[in-house]
Amino acid sequence: MEKNYVIVGNSAAAIGCVEGIRQVDTKGSILIVSDEPHHTYSRPLISYLLWGKTDRQRMKYRPDSFYEDNKVDTLFGVKATALHPEEHTLELDNGETVTYGKLLLATGSRPFIPPMEGLDQVEKKFTFMTLNDALALEEAITPDSKVLIVGAGLIGLKCAEGIFEKVTSLTVVDLANRILPSILDEEGSKLVQEYIEKKGVKFYLSDSVAKFEEGVARLNSGAEVEYDVVVIAVGVRPNVELAQQAGIDVNRGILTDVHCATSAADVYAAGDCTVSHNIASDQDQILALLPNAYMQGETAGIEMAGGEANYDKAIPMNAMGMLGLHMITAGVYDGEVYKEQNCEGYKKLFVKDGKLKGYILIGDVIKRAGIYTSLIREQTPLDEIDFDLIKHSPQLMAFAKKERKVKLAGAKE
């Protein structure tokens, strides 16, 4: 088989790539290879599926006609096993070899499972990454289930939210001394933890499972937690094996330039499997986030088709809802702090070198958060805007009149 474009993966980065390619090249042949056997679906919606807030049809990331509309051939339930950049070929586990013009690695990430004593003996244990994971978990739980979730990070807590109404008890254990350590500061963690605890979820922090015994998990602290179902959600690792074996530069994630090109000619990479450059901290890191994955994929697609695009404004950014409490966070928590806390919610802004570097918003104060995000992404010097005005509530009034004309009146920059 021969194709102009081959994409490994069928999630946010892959779909971004298809849409990027089609902005430039409406004809070239595209093949998507994915080991998951489903039409593209929204990975973050698996918790909403269990919660009953969406269904299999509505959680499709693109309409049923997407592949047809975009003239994309698909191989679902097929895994790519080897990549040969010199020959421009990709080997598949169905025995076929595909020759490509340009290739995108959008292989995403997978759950990390640390060695834990007795875990192999646990009958009902799950991770929470894929639609199949969610369906298997749904099948395993009963109204009498006592669920133990290891990891109070984003995935662990989204899983908790998804099954909260369906089980008897939910216990979450985390090694860190607070919940959601990757997106909140200590005060914020405490606030959100109190909220979730009031709903009936139990936490063990600065703790982990020392040993799983039948029906009981013994924690490092000596505490015992009864369970019948275990979910492991202690972090994700990028899928880099294909790239690694092909001799492509990898450092934890696949390394790319601003055009999402890898070190091998005609091979691009996007999404959770890559390393991004976080412009808020000026450091390289893996940003396993859907908006970033989509935008990287789109950039790669445009470039693969001969257009020009840059992915050069990456920052960490999360919108997270937890049983009715919403939080939005972005950037890095470094620099001078502006804090507001009242009945509306909790807000922290972090300013350094005259620029907004990060923010944490919890509760009703999330409104118009994107105005803050844009200040971080665009690295806007704060002396060019009325920062005192914008500190309290994000608004376009804080920008100079000339800038407002561009934003609201169609003036050219």
Partner 1 sequence: MKRVYVNEEWCLGCHLCEYQCAFANSGETDMVKALKGVKINPRIQVEEGDGVNFAVQCRHCEEPLCVKGCISGALSIKDGVIHLDENKCVGCYTCVLMCPYGAIMPGNGTAVQKCELCLNNSCGEPACVKGCPNAAIVYEER
Ligand X SMILES: Cc1cc2nc3c(=O)[nH]c(=O)nc-3n(C[C@H](O)[C@H](O)[C@H](O)COP(=O)(O)OP(=O)(O)OC[C@H]3O[C@@H](n4cnc5c(N)ncnc54)[C@H](O)[C@@H]3O)c2cc1C
Ligand Y SMILES: NC(=O)c1ccc[n+]([C@@H]2O[C@H](COP(=O)([O-])OP(=O)(O)OC[C@H]3O[C@@H](n4cnc5c(N)ncnc54)[C@H](O)[C@@H]3O)[C@@H](O)[C@H]2O)c1
Contacting residues toward partner 1, per CB under 8 A: 16, 42, 44-45, 48, 53-54, 58-62, 290-291, 294-295, 298, 317-321, 326, 328, 330, 366-371, 373-374, 394-397, 401, 404, 407-410
106 binds, among partner 1, ligand Y, ligand X, none (CB under 5 to 8 A by kind): ligand X
153 binds, among ligand X, ligand Y, partner 1, none (CB under 5 to 8 A by kind): ligand Y
Is 278 among the residues that bind ligand Y (CB under 6 A)? no
DSSP conformation class of 400: -
- SS3 state at 41: strand
| Cα separation, 149 vs 227, whole angstroms | 10
Q: What contacts 304, CB < 8 A, 6 or more positions away?
A: 5, 17, 20, 21, 102, 104, 268
Residue whose CB is less far from ligand Y, 217 or 250: 217
Is 243 among the residues that bind ligand Y (CB under 6 A)? no
| Cα separation, 184 vs 187, whole angstroms | 8
Q: Is 304 exposed, middle or buried (0-12, 13-18, 19+ CB in 10 A)?
A: buried
Handedness of CA 24, 29, 33, 39 (dihedral sign): positive
State the minimum distance, in angstroms, from the CB of residue 126 to ligand Y.
14
Residue whose CB is less far from partner 1, 175 or 325: 325
Q: Which one of 3, 10, 227, 309 is in contact with ligand X (CB under 6 A)?
A: 10
Q: Which one of 1, 113, 175, 323 is in contact with ligand Y (CB under 6 A)?
A: 175
C-beta separation of 407 from 399 below 8 A: yes
State the minimum distance, in angstroms, from the CB of residue 178 to partner 1.
22
Q: Which one of 108, 151, 238, 253 is in contact with ligand Y (CB under 6 A)?
A: 151
Q: Is 84 exposed, middle or buried (0-12, 13-18, 19+ CB in 10 A)?
A: middle
Residue whose CB is less far from partner 1, 146 or 367: 367
344: which strand partners?
none
Which pair of tokens denotes residue 173?
A: 């254990």
Residue whose CB is less far from ligand X, 209 or 327: 327
Is 59 among the residues that bind ligand Y (CB under 6 A)? no
State the minimum distance, in angstroms, from the CB of residue 375 to ligand Y.
20
Is 34 among the residues that bind ligand X (CB under 6 A)? yes
Which pair of tokens denotes residue 335?
A: 């620099």
193 binds, among partner 1, ligand X, ligand Y, none (CB under 5 to 8 A by kind): none
- Segment 154 to 173, residues that bind ligand Y, using CB under 6 A: 154-156, 158, 173
Which pair of tokens denotes residue 170?
A: 């939910």
State the minimum distance, in angstroms, from the CB of residue 92 to ligand X.
8
| Cα separation, 28 vs 291, whole angstroms | 26
> Residues in contact with ligand X, total (CB under 6 A)?
34
- Segment 57 to 86, residues that bind ligand X, using CB under 6 A: 79-80
What's the half-sphere exposure (Cβ side, CA atoms, 13 Å) at 342? 4
C-beta separation of 347 from 339 below 8 A: yes
| Cα separation, 81 vs 84, whole angstroms | 10
208 binds, among partner 1, ligand Y, ligand X, none (CB under 5 to 8 A by kind): ligand Y
| Cα separation, 134 vs 127, whole angstroms | 8
State the minimum distance, in angstroms, from the CB of residue 331 to partner 1.
11
Q: How many residues does the chain have?
A: 413
C-beta separation of 47 from 149 below 8 A: no
Q: Which residues sit at the interface with ligand Y, rule CB under 6 A? A: 44, 114, 150-156, 158, 173-176, 181-182, 208, 233-236, 288-289, 318-320
Q: Which residues sit at the interface with ligand X, rule CB under 6 A? A: 8-14, 33-36, 43-44, 46-47, 79-80, 106-109, 128-129, 155, 158, 239, 242, 271-272, 288-291, 293
